[in-house]
Amino acid sequence: MDHFLYRDDILHGEDVPVPGIAASVGTPFYLYSEATFRRHFRLFDEALAGMDHLVCYAVKANSNQAILKLLGDMGAGMDVVSGGEYARVRAAGVPGERIVFSGVGKTREEMRAALAGGVRQFNVESEPELEELNGLAVSMGLRAPVAIRVNPDVDARTHAKISTGKAENKFGIPISRARGVYARAGTMAGIDITGIDVHIGSQITDLGPFRRAYLKVGDLARQLRADGHDIRRLDLGGGLGIPYARGNEAPPLPTEYGAMIRETVGDLGCEVVIEPGRLIAGNAGILVARVIRVKEGEGRKFLIVDAGMNDLVRPAMYEAHHDIVPVAQPVPGEKQEPFDVVGPVCETGDTFARERFLPPLQAGDLLAFRSAGAYGAVMASEYNARPLIPEVLVSGDQFAVIRARPSYDEMVNRDRIPEWL
Ligand SMILES: *Cc1c(COP(=O)(O)O)cnc(C)c1O
């Protein structure tokens, strides 16, 4: 459930009509609902109630400072994958002890900054990373809290580009080699082993792959304890999918996911960390665009909109589906026709949908791309010199721009022309 609903035949973000925001900030723009973010975080928090747990929002899904502050103030932990995300989270007021640092390519500088600033744990993805972190921590007179990310070799049955838990993926240490790596880590003066980490992919729509991975993690935890390690925390990653297309079968709910966690690893008495991103942010945001014009093609009609693949890359990059709805509610029974919905960018890949059935639309009409709150604004670029589009947060009957659209001057003046030219 989200808070983007028609009221008096006009799409609203919570209590605010979308056309009013469009008139105020211009199109295209991202619009987020505070109530939806809050609701989604609570769903996960409640799904793990009764277990020692921390829900660490995966910052890469949407890293706007306002979003980080609103979740951080609710007590959320944060899962970061770069020094930049670490800096964003700290700037939003989240303390180091609520930050887990993931990622396959942490640099020395990133690890140093997190050690100095405080961190709940590093999720370490390779032996060389472990050695480097150990050396760094020793040189700083610290012990780095560490979970080893294991690769459980399960098929998450999701898009190949966002599957991370198969043996051929670049992530983690093969679970078969984990005991040896823990044994080595146990001898390191700068490493404090806290537990085990796993993350098998994103937009996973059934519990089977999670269950298989978590059972393997549970077995490993028992083995490692028998080997003498103090395994007290399990970081089970993120990845629970969301319904992108209305009417399709809905993915499992956070409550069902939580129950499965209890079943698979609940008996170990470990603190459980989860790292949901998409499910918290995805349906908490829409992308609002305006129709530039309708173009009759060869046997098809193109709806050319003012948002492009640089603003929302998911369809071009992952063949992702986004529901597209007119901001003015269609009259029931109105005849719909198939449109190819495309952006202005000079690539055929700049296509949001093919043969999408929509009511008659004309230049100037507003459209909303649903489920755009995660992996939308954060993946945007200024390709074709199209300035990054604004992000707007609505809360009840108020809204605020939480990232402004740069002017052409601001965009142009980021470049520097060397003296010799
Ligand atoms: C991307 C990622 C997540 C979040 O995945 P979602 O599908 O957005 O829930 C969590 N943990 C790690 C390590 C990730 O790379």
Separation of alpha carbons 152 and 164, rounded Å: 10
Beta-carbon contacts of 16 under 8 Å, excluding residues fewer than 6 positions away, are 394, 397, 398, 399
Which pLDDT score, from 0 to 100, does residue 2 have?
A: 82
The pTM for the full model equals: 0.97
- For the chain, list residues with pLDDT below 50: none
Could you say which DSSP state residue 140 is in? Answer: T
Separation of alpha carbons 33 and 155, rounded Å: 33
Which pLDDT score, from 0 to 100, does residue 297 have?
A: 87
Ligand 1 atom with least separation from CA of 60: 1
Q: Which helix (H) or strand (E) holds 225?
A: helix 207-226
56 is catalytic: no
Query: Which domains, and CATH codes, for the chain?
Result: 4-31+282-412 (2.40.37.10), 103-274 (3.20.20.10)
Q: What is the pLDDT of residues 134-189, one digit of tens each?
A: 999 999 999 999 999 999 999 988 888 888 888 888 899 999 999 999 999 999 99
Separation of alpha carbons 261 and 276, rounded Å: 14
Which pLDDT score, from 0 to 100, does residue 156 have?
A: 87
Pocket test for ligand 1, best of 37, 43, 79 (most atoms within 8 A of CB): 79
In this structure, the residues whose C-beta lies within 6 A of any atom of ligand 1 are 58, 60-61, 79, 81, 102, 199, 202-203, 237-239, 275-279
Question: 252 CA distance to ligand 1 centroid (A)?
Answer: 17
Question: 201 CA distance to ligand 1 centroid (A)?
Answer: 7
Q: What is the pLDDT of residues 222-275, one digit of tens each?
A: 999 999 999 999 999 999 999 999 877 789 999 999 999 999 999 999 999 999
Burial (CB count within 10 angstroms: exposed 0-12, middle 13-18, buried 19+), residue 211? middle
